[in-house]
A and B are shown apart, each in its own frame.
Chain A
Amino acid sequence: MSAIEPVIHVEHSNRASRIGLAIVSCALIALAAAPWWADRANLRLLSEIYAYVALASLWNLLAGYAGLVSVGQHAYVGLGAYGLFALAMLAGVHPLVAIPIAGFAAAVVSVPVALLMFRLRGHYFAIGTWVMAEVFRLSAAQLSALGGGSGTSLPTAIVLSVAGSREMREFTLYWIALALAVAVLAAIVMLLRSRYGLALTAIRDNELGARSNGVDVVRVKYLVYVAVAFGTAMVGALVFLQKIRISPDTAFSVNDWTAYVIFITVIGGIGRIEGPIVGTIVFFLLRQTLADLGAIYLLILGAVAIVVMLKAPKGLWGLIADRYGWQLFPLERRLVIEKRP
């Protein structure tokens, strides 16, 4: 051993990410305190935003990193929602406890689904996942205990069990929505910083290259698919606990839970963790300003997504990040070599 031994470690954060993390932390504190400064309508809106941040982040992990372009993620939103209603109404489980159980149940279902769907390649995988969601939607319509095709509402007793007063109930669900979005983002950041994250980034950049460097691509894809199903179903369960009413068409809506989510991710920037957050903000800004236009609003959204895909395939955040080198989360890997005397 020589006297001068280089010490090598990997640094994740840089100046931008430290500033970014500080901004994120301040924003989180302000958002957690929202029940004290926002009215009921705004709390609802914020909850909805959190749900879309979580859904889009999960889809981004699936499509942007693992290369699994699914257009059937509404299957898991619906499964989570129906799981929650079934657990609460038929098994008497406390609704808040039912959220993770519904997520777990959907993850269990996703295992055989993945086995079947991974037989389809590329585009056909995409439409295959959609077929699967249709199967679940049509099956849900056969569940007479949960109202069949017309759906059902949560009984008052179950709604009251979340919290006694209406105000506390709204606050509780708001905080859970925020916590779930933060948990999803934190889990994704941690996953991407682990060795699986390295594998995922490699798959994103070049699947063949990743494979030839010893990444077990199929295994990583399975894990991501099941984990994303788990998260997506929990978001679905929470969203419909807030709505109180469920039906096959709303719980398994391809527009609400897949089309918007994909547009959000692409507009914000696919394959970057900040993309879905930026995309969700743009989506809600558009929605709040164009809400009066009805069907035209969706037409504009579709057109914006097409233009972004063709003109700026890395999305809005991609434009910013490439130009200024910004990153909100410490995900960079830089080799730091210190020479000690």
Chain B
Amino acid sequence: MEWVNTIVQGVLLGGLYAMFAAGLSLIFGVMRLVNIAHGDLIVLAAYIALVIVETLGINPLTSLLIVVPVMAAIGYVLQRALLNRTLGDDLLPPLLVTFGLSVIIQNALLQWFSADSRKLNAGNIEIASIHIGGGLAVGVLPLIQFALAVAVIAGLQWLFYRTALGRAFRATSDDQPVAQLMGLNNSHVFALAMALSLAIVAVAGVLLAVRANFDPSIGPARLIFGFEAVIIGGLGSMWGTLAGGVIIGVAQAIGAKIDPGWNLLAGHIAFLIVLALKPEGLFPKVQG
């Protein structure tokens, strides 16, 4: 039963990782950009939520109403002002510019908020749990997180295949010049994709901040978890990304159960095993 519990907790944690991954996967799918600052933007969202919660005295989950649009706006401006200039055949400019952004965000946060660990308090909901029989209890908050992750991924799936915006995303992803000829403004489409990506980042950041302590330096590790989930799931597959996140989460939970030092290592090893056996991921959809 203890092991069942471990796996259940791992699955729920995987939902959070899938959310880290969804935004990453989205912008890679649309514009072949890997955002190295992705993890630091998650942490930035957590700090924005912290400021809002402390100033307005509202619940962290309510603060999403402000954090999500703020991050989306940051994403739109960032893409139009900076990242669109880096896109092209050369790999290096987007990589270096987002790496630079990562260093800038980390150190700006360090300057303003110091290196102290912070956490958002969501009140009673944090300790509430549901007993599901057999001595197994599931926290309400992890359950909400997992449900939100599923909702975000289902929403992205719907947006991609059922809406005009999704069609625009897929068109620019397939062939940029032709999409432009068909009357799409690629810069605008890319900026919308980044805005959407950072809206998801905002949700992920607030959930992260409620779940655990955070400080300015934890961004890169979040990027890596999200990246691993994307690769395990297979490029371009949204549900695969969820499965990838769950695999990382379960591997970490099992690793931590065996030896606390193996917590993160086990997740990385799961990723390397998938890479060795099935480099295209478990549910591949498009070629990178």
Binary per-residue interface labels of chain A (284-300) against chain B in the complex, 1 for a CB within 8 Å, 0 otherwise: 00000000001110110
Complex-state Cα separation, A289 to B108, whole angstroms: 19
Contact (Cβ within 8 A) B228 A142: no
A305 at the interface (CB under 8 A from B): yes
Which single residue of chain A is at the shortest CB-CB distance from B259?
A142
Give B192 Cβ to nearest chain A Cβ, in Å. Answer: 21
Which single residue of chain A is at the shortest CB-CB distance from B97?
A306
Binary per-residue interface labels of chain A (71-98) against chain B in the complex, 1 for a CB within 8 Å, 0 otherwise: 1000000000000000000000000000
Give A72 Cβ to nearest chain B Cβ, in Å. Answer: 10
Contact (Cβ within 8 A) A306 B107: no
| Interface, chain A (partner B; CB < 8 A) | 63, 67, 69, 71, 116, 119-124, 126-128, 130-131, 134-135, 138-139, 141-142, 149, 254-255, 259, 262-263, 266, 270, 294-296, 298-299, 301-303, 305-306, 309-310, 313
- Known contacts A262-B96, A306-B100: does B276 contact A116 (CB below 8 Å)? yes
Chosen A-B contacts, 11 in total, with CB atoms closer than 8 Å, are A123-B34, A124-B34, A124-B288, A127-B224, A127-B227, A259-B103, A294-B111, A295-B108, A299-B104, A301-B103, A309-B92
Other 16 A-B pairs with CB < 8 A, given A119-B279, A128-B231, A302-B99:
A121-B288, A123-B33, A123-B94, A126-B34, A126-B91, A128-B275, A138-B268, A141-B261, A262-B96, A299-B103, A299-B104, A302-B104, A303-B100, A309-B100, A310-B86, A310-B93
Complex-state Cα separation, A300 to B111, whole angstroms: 13
**A67, A126, A296 interface centre (most CB from chain B within 10 Å):** A126
> B101's contact among A130, A141, A306, by CB below 8 Å, is which?
A306
> A302's contact among B100, B221, B228, by CB below 8 Å, is which?
B100
Chain A residues closer than 8 Å to B107, beta-carbon distance:
295-296, 298-299, 302
B60 at the interface (CB under 8 A from A): no
Contact (Cβ within 8 A) A71 B36: yes
Contact (Cβ within 8 A) B99 A259: yes
Contact (Cβ within 8 A) A262 B99: yes
Tell me how many residues of B have a C-beta within 8 Å of chain A.
44
Complex-state Cα separation, A135 to B275, whole angstroms: 14
Contact (Cβ within 8 A) B265 A139: yes
Give B275 Cβ to nearest chain A Cβ, in Å. Answer: 6
Contact (Cβ within 8 A) A69 B95: yes
B128 at the interface (CB under 8 A from A): no
Contact (Cβ within 8 A) A310 B100: no
B257 at the interface (CB under 8 A from A): no
Q: Which of chain B's residues 191-242 have a Cβ closer than 8 Å to chain A?
A: 220-221, 223-224, 227-228, 231
Complex-state Cα separation, A264 to B252, whole angstroms: 36
B147 at the interface (CB under 8 A from A): no
Contact (Cβ within 8 A) B36 A299: no
Contact (Cβ within 8 A) B34 A306: no
B271 at the interface (CB under 8 A from A): yes
Binary per-residue interface labels of chain B (252-276) against chain A in the complex, 1 for a CB within 8 Å, 0 otherwise: 0000000001001100110110011
Which single residue of chain A is at the shortest CB-CB distance from B269?
A135
Contact (Cβ within 8 A) A131 B96: no
Contact (Cβ within 8 A) A119 B275: yes
Which single residue of chain B is at the shortest CB-CB distance from A299?
B107
> A295's contact among B97, B111, B224, by CB below 8 Å, is which?
B111
Q: Which of chain B's residues 153-197 have a Cβ closer than 8 Å to chain A?
A: none
**B33, B99, B223 interface centre (most CB from chain A within 10 Å):** B99
B110 at the interface (CB under 8 A from A): yes
Complex-state Cα separation, A20 to B107, whole angstroms: 38
Complex-state Cα separation, A42 to B46, whole angstroms: 42
Give A249 Cβ to nearest chain B Cβ, in Å. Answer: 10
Complex-state Cα separation, A135 to B107, whole angstroms: 25
Give A71 Cβ to nearest chain B Cβ, in Å. Answer: 7
Which single residue of chain B is at the shortest CB-CB distance from A138?
B265
Give B85 Cβ to nearest chain A Cβ, in Å. Answer: 6
Give A237 Cβ to nearest chain B Cβ, in Å. Answer: 24
Chain B residues closer than 8 Å to A121, beta-carbon distance:
288
Chain A residues closer than 8 Å to B261, beta-carbon distance:
138, 141-142, 149
Complex-state Cα separation, A310 to B97, whole angstroms: 8
Contact (Cβ within 8 A) A254 B111: no
Contact (Cβ within 8 A) A123 B99: no
Binary per-residue interface labels of chain B (1-42) against chain A in the complex, 1 for a CB within 8 Å, 0 otherwise: 000000000000000000000000000100011101000000
Complex-state Cα separation, A130 to B269, whole angstroms: 13
Closest 4 CB pairs of A and B: A123-B34, A302-B103, A119-B279, A302-B100
Contact (Cβ within 8 A) B96 A266: yes
- Known contacts A126-B34, A138-B264: does B271 contact A131 (CB below 8 Å)? yes
Complex-state Cα separation, A71 to B269, whole angstroms: 19
- Known contacts A141-B261, A142-B261, A302-B101: does B268 contact A127 (CB below 8 Å)? no
Complex-state Cα separation, A296 to B228, whole angstroms: 31
Q: Which of chain B's residues 101-118 have a Cβ closer than 8 Å to chain A?
A: 101-104, 106-108, 110-111
Chain B residues closer than 8 Å to A139, beta-carbon distance:
265
Complex-state Cα separation, A127 to B92, whole angstroms: 13
Contact (Cβ within 8 A) B223 A127: yes
Chain B residues closer than 8 Å to A255, beta-carbon distance:
103
- Known contacts A121-B288, A295-B111: does B85 contact A310 (CB below 8 Å)? yes
